[in-house]
Structure 1
Amino acid sequence: MDYFIVVVTTLAGLYFHWWLYVRIRRWMDRDLALSFAGTDEHKKAYMLECLNNARAQKIKRSELAAWLEREAAAFPVD
């Protein structure tokens, strides 16, 4: 019974750390995308859409900043 408790607790801890790691990465990516938008609300929405497109296209994290920067530069200025 003691081994069962240790295994369950260890697996729960590992899952929690994985979940936290994924959440922090998402927050960092979101903040990166929003940093290119400045204070413009329309550009913020555009950049979040670009971030979703990057995830759908499976852009590597090492290339994400440059990719988002190119997308931000392509934003139509009114």
Structure 2
Amino acid sequence: MARLAAFIVLLVPGLMAAFGIKLMRDSLFGVLFSPFPFIWLQFLIGFLLFAAGLGFFAGFLLRRDRRKGRVQEKFQEKR
């Protein structure tokens, strides 16, 4: 059950990051979607979605590995 919950928690940021990549790719090829008035705004929103999704995913993995003691000394929490 815990693995399923972790999968669901990681699914949403993963989908956000994938949609961000799609928006950035489409803006580079000149495809503009209706909610965005400008290509550069579409690229910026795509980049923010990608960065937020990737950052959440990386933070989740770092926190999990810190609890299990699998990180190097420089990434361990200072107490």
TM-based fold match above 0.5? no
Compute the TM-score of the two structures, normalised by the length of structure 2: 0.40
Compute the TM-score of the two structures, normalised by the length of structure 1: 0.41
Tell me which of the two structures has the higher relative contact order, counting C-alpha pairs closer than 8 angstroms and 6 or more residues apart: 2
Q: Between Structure 1 and Structure 2, which shows a larger proportion of helix residues?
A: 1
